[in-house]
Amino acid sequence: MKLPSSFYLEHDACAAGRLLLGKVLVTDLDGGRTAAIISETEAYMGVVDRASHAFAGKRTARNEVMYARGGSAYVYLCYGIHHLFNVVVLDAGIPHAVLIRAVVATEGFAVMQQRRPQAGTTTGGPGTLTQALGIRTVHNGEDLAGHRIWIEDRGIFIPDEAIIVGPRIGVDYAGADAHLPYRYRIAPSHPIKP
């Protein structure tokens, strides 16, 4: 069920971004257990990617986790308000990461409601899904092989034709790299079995 560490070591950010669609992100944090199907991801392809925090090998206290071994969680605060959750892939020293941009909640609705009382809609973006799942910057560097945050394969298969590929969102500062087809999402018409 739980993805093996080899999954994170053997795929680069693009491959992992594609393969993580349909997988289930589970958290067991304060307040209870929640789970959600990953429905949208973005790949950040390391030192050659202008949109990545690790472009040109840049290394700071914030992005240090990107250089950790695949299977680590990279969580950081964006716009002073939102916590964004990434999955680090490939070996230590190679800063590839996959941003989880949207999920479909499957378990722990009561807990999610409690965490986001004002939730008009469901988890529509990268900043709100972390709130629903209870992920905060405290969890930066968390090992996905542990028992607080992990990803499971529950046999949900997403065929290639159900995947919409497009440019990443909110990375205009990256120049030409902003147009790269590194965003993956499950077509809204594609059924997701519970």
Partner DNA sequence: CGAATGATATACT
Partner DNA sequence: GTATATCATTCGA
Residues in the site for DNA, rule: CB under 7 A? 42, 44, 51-54, 58, 60-63, 66, 74, 76-82, 84, 86, 97, 99, 118-121, 124-128, 137, 169-171, 173
DSSP, collapsed to helix, strand or coil, labels residue 66 as helix
Q: Are 43 and 53 in contact (CB under 8 A)?
A: no
DSSP, collapsed to helix, strand or coil, labels residue 154 as coil
Smaller CB separation from DNA, 157 or 173 = 173
Smaller CB separation from DNA, 39 or 52 = 52
Task: Report in angstroms how near the CB of residue 128 gets to DNA at its nearest.
Answer: 5
Task: Report in angstroms how near the CB of residue 90 gets to DNA at its nearest.
Answer: 14
Task: Report in angstroms how near the CB of residue 96 gets to DNA at its nearest.
Answer: 10
Q: What pairing do the DSSP bridges indicate for beta strands 96-107 and 24-29?
A: unpaired
Smaller CB separation from DNA, 44 or 155 = 44
CB atoms within 10 A of CB 105: 16
Six token digits for residue 123: 């988890």
DSSP, collapsed to helix, strand or coil, labels residue 172 as helix
Task: Report in angstroms how near the CB of residue 62 gets to DNA at its nearest.
Answer: 3
Give the whole-angstrom CA distance, residue 59 versus residue 111: 36
Amino acid at 88: V
Smaller CB separation from DNA, 1 or 78 = 78
Count how many residues are written for the chain: 194
Task: Report in angstroms how near the CB of residue 93 gets to DNA at its nearest.
Answer: 16
Smaller CB separation from DNA, 29 or 89 = 89
Q: Are 128 and 68 in contact (CB under 8 A)?
A: no
Task: Report in angstroms how near the CB of residue 37 gets to DNA at its nearest.
Answer: 17
Smaller CB separation from DNA, 29 or 102 = 102
Give the whole-angstrom CA distance, residue 112 versus residue 187: 24
